[in-house]
Structure 1
Amino acid sequence: MARSMGLAYAATWVIAVSGAGALHAQQPSDDGNASRERADAIVAKMTRDEKIALVHGLFPPMAAGKSEHELIPSAGHIDGIPRLGVPLVRESDASLGVANQVEQRKGDVATALPSSLATASSFDPEIAHQGGAMIGAEARAKRFNVLLGGGVNLTRDPWNGRNFEYLGEDPLLAGEMAGAHIAGIQSNNIVSTVKHFAINSQETGRMVADARIDEAALRMSDLLAFQIAIEKGNPGSVMCAYNKVNGDYACANKHLLTDVLKKDWGYRGWVMSDWGAVHSTVKAANAGLDQESGQELDKQIFFGAPLEQALADGKVSQARLDDMVARYLTGLIETGAYDTPAPKTAQKIDYAAHARVAQRAAEAGIVLLKNDGDLLPLSGVRKIAVIGGHADRGVLSGGGSSQVRSVGGAPIEIPLGSGAASSFARITYHASSPLKALRKAMPNAQITFVDQRDVEGAKKAASEADVAIVFAVQWTTEAQDAPDLSLPYHQDALISAVAAAQPKTIAVLETGGPVLMPWRDQVPAIVEAWYPGQRGGQAIANILTGKVNPSGRLPITFPAAASQAPRPEPVGLDKLNSLEAQAASNPANASQYQLQSFPIDYVEGADVGYRWYEKQGETPLFPFGHGLTYTSFAYRNATLSGGKTLTLSFDVVNTGKRAGAAVPQMYVTREGSDHPMRLAGFQRIELRPGETRHVTLSAAPRIVADYDTALPGWRIQGGKYKVALATDATDRSRVFTATLQAATMKP
């Protein structure tokens, strides 16, 4: 990730968007060995000074006068070498669109996708791919050629402030979706990253926290998500994380960067640091870090003069420097960024076509959690009370380095007075009003709006209407975790009060992740809209009115109580709060109150999310994979075969009266083991009423296997396996068994 004005920056098949928004295949193809040979030949022609210049980059907002080229206010800048054809590189944050967090570039807008959790809820890699292609096209038009997008860290804790930027709790789903997103970005001949490597799972103390987990568990969870994303998307760069992993900073962790990434996985591109994540020269370089990003945010420029001295002293070899530069060039060459430089002037963008990409993603990702009595879709309703959530103005977005200044502007933008995110984040809404969209979609209905602060007015309006719709919001941001899982601003009480006044109440949630719902039994219909992006209002209205059949499925478990999760609150939050209180009481010496390194023991190991709930025997509020529609589906004629692979074949039938999307899910575990079931396959299938589709899912081999550190590698134990054909992670209505042959695979 990368940040804006001064804290620490933190920063993924194949479509390019052109003309009227047409999507077309355009993936650079290149033999990896040829790319590296070409890169080595270029490096051989460089002076040492030229090499050193390529392994540390500028942070433009703090780098005035350090380049003869224009420094676009953005995440990063690295000058090229014109005599050798090495291009100038400009980097932007771009998880959800080309970022412009606190409007460093005045007037520069971009298309804002819904949150990554919303995209993951589609269970459709093509949705992720099209979103990435759209972002990449806009980035190139804005003269950027490296994008810091492709977050794939697994959700281990429901309160993580950056959950909205990531793709949920399952390594197969997250890896597949991230890989498609990366490939979409890179179809525009620019570089995408995958980040933050690795186990960057909370924001509290993220610069000093030490993530502790054993090797096998790490390989079977977070690292597996990265591995799949890299295989599917082939990102030009990998961004290492802020935190420590088993005692070493991620950006100086030889096991992660060299042993796993470069040796075991054969990764050819370059490892860039997160912004402000470098703490050493010799250790980081020899561990496998190839480039120091946003150098002004580190305590010193570690890969400048100190690296020159380390080379002179023999502490870093010339071969290592050459490899650092060659990897950088290889990433540029393989993605097409080397041979297709970014334009010298900004290009025209078809924002209307791109908005349709964002709206489609939002509609595919909105999850209908509950719909008692078929209250939805709205039909024949004359009076509707819309309450709260600033639904009259727009829809909420998440904060931090991924913040997009969307087309249409920000009708609400609230600066932060304090906190770790205050220097680069604002509470920001996109100008897409659900109220206006509902009025347009239902011209014959009387639709009123009441602000959430007017509880008595809300109750009165609800009681006088046929239906009440309460919009509830939870703002989350990079650099800060949510302190708890409750809706802020007394919104739980508001929903309960409205539901007491109007039995036909619908709750629409715009949240960064799971929230508790003490009012669940009072409310017949609940819609999780996530942060729905710049066309969120229209998407929500289309779902509520039935113009679009909801098809999202939860990529993350919603707990019934905070105590169900492995950690009920952010680790280290008590220490941080105490230090902040001390600093406030002694402002003259506030700098001495710094959070020191502390451990986070990931006791759940590989059993992340829904696996943890199954293992602990906990019943969540809503399970992973859950999502309702306005039609119905039947699964028929299922057969399971074994042998070398587990193959599940079945028919999916739309037995309802509306077209809709089914998302059959395949969960696997070995009989006699203590492993919870794991998602081993899934597919999104759109069917017309009465239509039947034959589907075959094959279990991903590494999901069936366990990681064996003694091999080292993946080991599938021979024997009987149980396979569930399911609609969510708790569905065991269709379970089959088959025998699988023993096998091993490389790491």
Structure 2
Amino acid sequence: MTMRRIACVALLATSSIATAQSVDRTRSAEARAAATVQAMTPEEKIRLLHGPMPSLLPAAKRPAGVPIGAGIIMGVPRLGIPDLTETDASLGVSNLNDLRKGDVATALPSGMALAASWDPVVAREGGAMIGGEARDKGFNVMLVGGVNIVRDPRAGRNFEYLGEDPLLAGTLVGAQIAGVQSNHIIATIKHFAANAIETGRSVHTVDMAEAPLRESDLLAFEIGMEKGDPHAVMCGYNRVNGVYSCENPFLLNDVLRRDWGFKGFVMSDWGAVHSSEAILKGLDQQSGEQIDGKRWFSDLMQTAVSEGRVPQGAIDTSVRRILRTMYASGVVDHPATGGATIDYARNGAVALRAAEAGIVLLRNEGGVLPLAATARTIVVIGGHADIGVLSGGGSSQVRPVGGFTLEERQTGGGAASFAKRSYGGTAPLAALKAIRPDAQITFVDGSDPAAAAAAARSADVAIVFGEKWSTEAADNKDLSLDRNGDALIAAVAAANPRTVVVLETGNPVAMPWRDRVPAIVAAWFPGQRGGEAIARVLTGAVNPSGHLPVTFPASLAQLPNPVLPGSDAVPADAATRATYGLMAGTKPFAVTFPEGADAGYRWYAAKGLVPLYPFGHGLSYTSFRYDRLAATGGKALTVRFSVTNTGQRAGADVPQVYVTRPGKAKRLIGWGKPMLAPGETREVSVVADPRVIGDYDAKARRWIVPAGAYGIEVGPSATQTSLRAQVRLSKQTLKP
């Protein structure tokens, strides 16, 4: 027997032993991963560290029998390791890369709408639904879990995220991730970290001291990871304090693994890798390698190992993390084969409930809503309300069941041009007609404000749809409505005093016409069944219960950065693109957030600013009373109070609890969402997370809750207080 054959036989024997160990489900995920690593060849190990975006591959080179999604990491069949098949995103199974098949999926409402529900149950139910669809389509990795804190209302991806407060955002993203992963697939919390704006996202650096970073952006991730236990983390495009997120040892090794004990793996965002040495700094996997332009974790990684720049032990560590995750998640033992029949009607009902829960009634003077039975002539104006609802653009966009009824390519160049402004799902006009067959309901497209005003003048009620589209890769220049929407609303309101405005937006918007309209509804990007949800709220079939997860500023002057960071950045030249990657649109620049840890409502409270609408605001068709407040201190802060429905119809409320202490902005410490029948009373209890009320000491690497007096405020928003109390807390020191 030749030495080569002896070696092959030995490899096969080792492989057989390792395979037997790895399929033994009584062993821990760590033990199974270690056994598999031992049996792998160097080439097989490298295979798990990188992968392409299948849609960018020539058809002949695409892996056979694999769903075309965001990416693929090839497995090791001889050891029972399946491919990792990846799909976007938080709002459903994104099919942007497989349109030639006409594939569709159930589109949830935007992340902002989910956050407006303030309801972890809704978040988990939606996550379980989209995770199930992903699995049924053959995907075992879903790029779910966007939890970047909203710091600027012009940011293009805010619609994907979960608002401006770390406790609210972290709680909801954790619930969503838990729902997704209940399907034995991997979810990825993202974009780690401080990925707050799209302008220059691949070149800018967010410069912030550790303490405020820990108390805001990082806290949202920390809470989300504790509640959802995501199997993977996706690092972002941007730099943090001068170092790229995907090769930032402070973020990936110190915070994520040392302090938080994360055992999963870190994947890059598509186009966010800049070196093979990133593996030494915490990155485990290069995603969508064509976007980077260089195969840093493939051919170049092999070169780095042979030259001694990357030790083999670093490769083994990353491979072991990936394999451990695959075993722990159930990806190996419960393979997603695809081809299942999907019950889109059932899943659509989940999307409908989510949309209804997230719609916010901002204004309702004179009880214009719900629409009265006496409103017999209704004109619906603008927003393509006759054909569907608006969706956000970019990688999170889901092609809804039934497809898009209208797709408009954007003009003017720039990063937004790659996305389409799209309308689909159920149409508000048809839904209103179905609920109100007794009324004469007509539609005017709103392109001519004078014609719209004329139609409104003769109607009992006018319903105007205002829009502001948002997309990944581009920030909005201001807060004005698109397509002269502000002028349209002003013209209609002047013609009809019973004008209702429905906003389909991904962000807060300005409202120069606010005081001239009696009713305003924030519907966000409401998803697959959005038209029905809007109609059901307008007609009173559903009592609105959404509350704002972001502050609506009165003007850009109120923002910490009135001028959008990077809006005056110098365009990238060839040298910049070569140095920073294919996605570099501008030369590098620094972003600072003057508010630090006090993002959103905390900034407004600290500066004494009165916003257009405060964080937490939301109205109902019934009324509520808060009483019997009891707060206790000592080593733990506990708050209890009662909520009573004092109105004539059932409804859900969102009572919020805030804490204040000298020298600090107020902070949300908890909330409830009781559904109450008329006259019903329920108790709400909140126990404060010490990190939310405390401070992070960067030198000591500890959370500290100072001893002293703490003010308690209970109310329906960050600026309205119904109950007050004060307690004294003992000093507490916590580990990170």
Instruction: Calculate the TM-score normalised by the size of structure 2.
Output: 0.93
Alpha carbons of 1:708 and 1:338: their partners in 2 closer, same or farther (altered >3 Å)? same
1:370 to 343, 346, 363: 363
Per-residue CA deviation, residues 582-624 of structure 1 (Å, 9 max, x unaligned), is: 99xxxxxxx9995111000111110000001111111000000
SS at match of 2:451: helix
- Note the residue ranges of structure 2 that are not aligned, 5 or more in a row: 1-23, 575-581
Between Structure 1 and Structure 2, how many residues are aligned?
Answer: 704
The answer on whether the counterparts of 1:161 and 1:479 sit within 8 Å (CA) in structure 2 is: yes
2:350 to 351, 354, 357: 357
1:610 aligns with 2:601: yes
Distance 1:686 1:725 in 2: 18
List aligned pairs for 1:174-573, cutoff 5 A.
Answer: 174-282=169-277, 284-343=278-337, 345-380=338-373, 381-421=375-415, 424-573=418-567
2:107 to 103, 109, 112: 112
The residue identity in structure 1 corresponding to 2:656 is Q
Structure 1 residue 575: Cα displacement: 2.6
Structure 1 residue 683: Cα displacement: 1.5
The answer on whether the counterparts of 1:89 and 1:145 sit within 8 Å (CA) in structure 2 is: yes
Structure 1 residue 120: Cα displacement: 0.5
Instruction: Calculate the TM-score normalised by the size of structure 1.
Output: 0.92
The residue identity in structure 1 corresponding to 2:139 is F
List aligned pairs for 1:9-88, cutoff 5 A.
Answer: 34-64=28-58, 65-66=60-61, 68-88=63-83
Distance 2:380 2:98 in 1: 31
Distance 1:170 1:657 in 2: 33
Match of 1:25 in 2: none
Distance 2:310 2:559 in 1: 44
Per-residue CA deviation, residues 537-566 of structure 1 (Å, 9 max, x unaligned), is: 100000000000000000000000011111
Query: Is the deviation greater in 66-75 or in 544-553?
Result: 66-75
Distance 2:271 2:128 in 1: 29
The answer on whether the counterparts of 1:484 and 1:569 sit within 8 Å (CA) in structure 2 is: no
Distance 1:592 1:536 in 2: 33
The residue identity in structure 1 corresponding to 2:361 is L
Distance 2:312 2:584 in 1: 40
Distance 1:431 1:267 in 2: 38
Structure 1 residue 734: Cα displacement: 1.6
Match of 1:624 in 2: 615
Structure 1 residue 422: Cα displacement: 5.1
Structure 1 residue 732: Cα displacement: 2.9
Alpha-carbon RMSD across the aligned residues, in angstroms, is 1.8
The answer on whether the counterparts of 2:110 and 2:524 sit within 8 Å (CA) in structure 1 is: yes
Alpha carbons of 1:105 and 1:41: their partners in 2 closer, same or farther (altered >3 Å)? farther
Distance 2:470 2:231 in 1: 29
Match of 1:740 in 2: 729
Structure 1 residue 721: Cα displacement: 0.7
Distance 1:68 1:407 in 2: 26
Per-residue CA deviation, residues 611-651 of structure 1 (Å, 9 max, x unaligned), is: 01111111000000000000011111111111111111111
SS at match of 1:412: strand
Structure 1 residue 317: Cα displacement: 2.1
Distance 2:81 2:499 in 1: 60
Alpha carbons of 1:84 and 1:470: their partners in 2 closer, same or farther (altered >3 Å)? same
The residue identity in structure 1 corresponding to 2:145 is G
User: In percent, how many aligned pairs have the same letter?
Assistant: 55
The residue identity in structure 1 corresponding to 2:446 is Q
Alpha carbons of 1:147 and 1:593: their partners in 2 closer, same or farther (altered >3 Å)? closer
The residue identity in structure 1 corresponding to 2:357 is A
Per-residue CA deviation, residues 20-48 of structure 1 (Å, 9 max, x unaligned), is: xxxxxxxxxx9999322221221111111
The residue identity in structure 2 corresponding to 1:376 is L
Per-residue CA deviation, residues 367-389 of structure 1 (Å, 9 max, x unaligned), is: 00000011100012111111111
Alpha carbons of 1:63 and 1:38: their partners in 2 closer, same or farther (altered >3 Å)? same
SS at match of 2:379: strand
Structure 1 residue 104: Cα displacement: 3.1
Structure 1 residue 334: Cα displacement: 1.8
1:718 aligns with 2:707: yes
SS at match of 2:545: coil
Alpha carbons of 1:655 and 1:85: their partners in 2 closer, same or farther (altered >3 Å)? same
Match of 1:15 in 2: none
Distance 2:631 2:282 in 1: 44
Alpha carbons of 1:364 and 1:594: their partners in 2 closer, same or farther (altered >3 Å)? closer
Per-residue CA deviation, residues 635-674 of structure 1 (Å, 9 max, x unaligned), is: 111111111111111111111111100111110122x2x1
The answer on whether the counterparts of 2:425 and 2:527 sit within 8 Å (CA) in structure 1 is: no
Structure 1 residue 66: Cα displacement: 4.8
Distance 1:540 1:592 in 2: 38
Distance 1:160 1:457 in 2: 33
Query: Is the deviation greater in 363-372 or in 638-647?
Result: 638-647
1:677 to 648, 666, 669: 666
Match of 1:637 in 2: 628
Distance 1:456 1:77 in 2: 53
Structure 1 residue 236: Cα displacement: 1.1
Structure 1 residue 417: Cα displacement: 3.6
1:666 aligns with 2:660: no
The answer on whether the counterparts of 2:271 and 2:583 sit within 8 Å (CA) in structure 1 is: no
The answer on whether the counterparts of 2:257 and 2:263 sit within 8 Å (CA) in structure 1 is: yes
- Note the residue ranges of structure 1 that are not aligned, 5 or more in a row: 1-29, 584-590
Per-residue CA deviation, residues 667-691 of structure 1 (Å, 9 max, x unaligned), is: 0122x2x111100111211111111
Alpha carbons of 1:668 and 1:593: their partners in 2 closer, same or farther (altered >3 Å)? closer
1:155 to 143, 146, 150: 150
Distance 2:124 2:369 in 1: 30
Distance 2:666 2:379 in 1: 43
Distance 1:517 1:554 in 2: 16
Alpha carbons of 1:601 and 1:675: their partners in 2 closer, same or farther (altered >3 Å)? same
SS at match of 1:695: strand
